[in-house]
Amino acid sequence: MIIKEAEGRNADLEVLRSLAGRPDVTDDQRKRIQQEIRNIQAGLKGEEEAAYELNFHYGNSKNWMIIHDLRIECEGRVAQIDHLLVNRFLELWVCESKHFAEGIAINEHGECSAFYGGKAYGVPSPIEQNRKHITVLESVFKTGLVKPPTRLGFTIKPTFVSLILVSKRARISRPSAKLDGLDAIIKNDQIKSRIDKSIDADNNPLTLAKVVGSETVEEFARRLAAIHKPVVFDWHARFGVSREVRPPATVSLPAQQPVSAAELQPVAESVQTAEQPPKAQERRESKLKCVKCSAAVSYAVAKFCWVNKGRFQGSVYCMECQKGVPAN
């Protein structure tokens, strides 16, 4: 039974694509943003492949509960669990999805590498990453944040199994040395056979003593899903991008447009005033005022506004107010 679906990353991708397309980000910022987009898309592909296999085999079962995309916080620590599979034995299969398109290699020291274009590059160990997830899950039950089911008055202690799921098309290169946790790395299409094999090999009679009803395991899984705390990323802060789009560092003056006869009429009238007697000219110039602050404007300033009608829409602005009118 599917208790919780993955929430998706469309909102994050939309924000990141918007940031990558802004004219005020640097080339370095744009490269890092585009790499983040690729990382998210690759992660989503791996999670979708694993989710398909889990849903196909266990989605309709009343004895298995599936929680996708579970983020929990406990005692100051955080675990982002891609998939959690819970059964009636109170076994929690903690699944970490990895989309290594060309595969993963582990050496005898447990160090991991992935491949891109045939070249290896180091990656964090998914085995250790999942162990941390299990540690946080254990603290969830120890602190009582989620209380496990009880039977005959005794609390049933959950058990944890780690699985690292990689693409079924990827290659897995393992060392000859035996390493703890190495068998947890499997391909997506091996999920069911791996789980069936583990259950068949369990001959511990105490396991049967832990079995709970379908309703109990469903209720337990729903309480786990209820502590999910989604995170909202501040992508602007992460990449050092201002929330406001900044204008380019240098602004070119707009090209002057051809001036029509109608636009030249005010200029012609002003030229005529220069030939009028002083009192008439004074009266004419006194009418040249800033449309915004009403300050007196000289003929030269007014002429600049008239000639640049595309910017000032035929209005007259003083030199100070012109600064607030955006250039085309």
For residue 268, pLDDT beyond 70? no
- Rounded mean pLDDT of the chain? 85
Closest alpha carbon to 176 in 94, 122, 110, 108: 108
Q: What is the mean pLDDT of residues 60-71?
A: 96
Question: pTM of the prediction?
Answer: 0.71
Are 1 and 60 a contacting pair, CB within 8 Å?
yes
Q: What is the mean pLDDT of residues 46-70?
A: 95
Share of the chain above pLDDT 70, in %: 85
Residues β-bridged to residue 74: 77
Q: What is the mean pLDDT of residues 19-40?
A: 92
Q: What is the mean pLDDT of residues 52-59?
A: 96
Phi, psi torsion values for 283, nearest 5 degrees = -65, -35
pLDDT score for 293: 86
Share of the chain above pLDDT 90, in %: 52
Q: What 3-state class would DSSP assign to 20? A: helix
Instruction: Calculate the alpha carbon distances from 112 to 14, 105, 187, 245 in Å.
Output: 32, 6, 16, 41
Are 109 and 119 a contacting pair, CB within 8 Å?
no
Higher pLDDT, 280 or 219: 219
Cβ partners under 8 Å of residue 298, min gap 6: 285, 288
Q: What is the mean pLDDT of residues 48-71?
A: 95
Q: What 3-state class would DSSP assign to 157? A: coil
Instruction: Tell me, rounded to whole angstroms, the distance of Cα 160 from its chain centroid.
Output: 29
pLDDT score for 276: 47
For residue 237, pLDDT beyond 60? yes
Cβ partners under 8 Å of residue 145, min gap 6: 74, 139, 227
Are 305 and 312 a contacting pair, CB within 8 Å?
yes
What is the rounded distance in angstroms from the CA atom of residue 219 to the CA atom of residue 221? 5
Q: Which pairs from 220-223 meet CB under 8 Å and 24+ separation? A: 220/65, 220/86, 220/90, 220/146, 220/148, 220/149, 221/1, 221/3, 221/65, 221/67, 221/86, 222/3, 223/146, 223/147
Q: How confident is the model at residue 134 (pLDDT cuts 50, 70, 90)?
A: very high
**pLDDT tens digits, 167-213:** 888 889 999 888 889 999 999 999 999 999 988 887 777 677 778 99
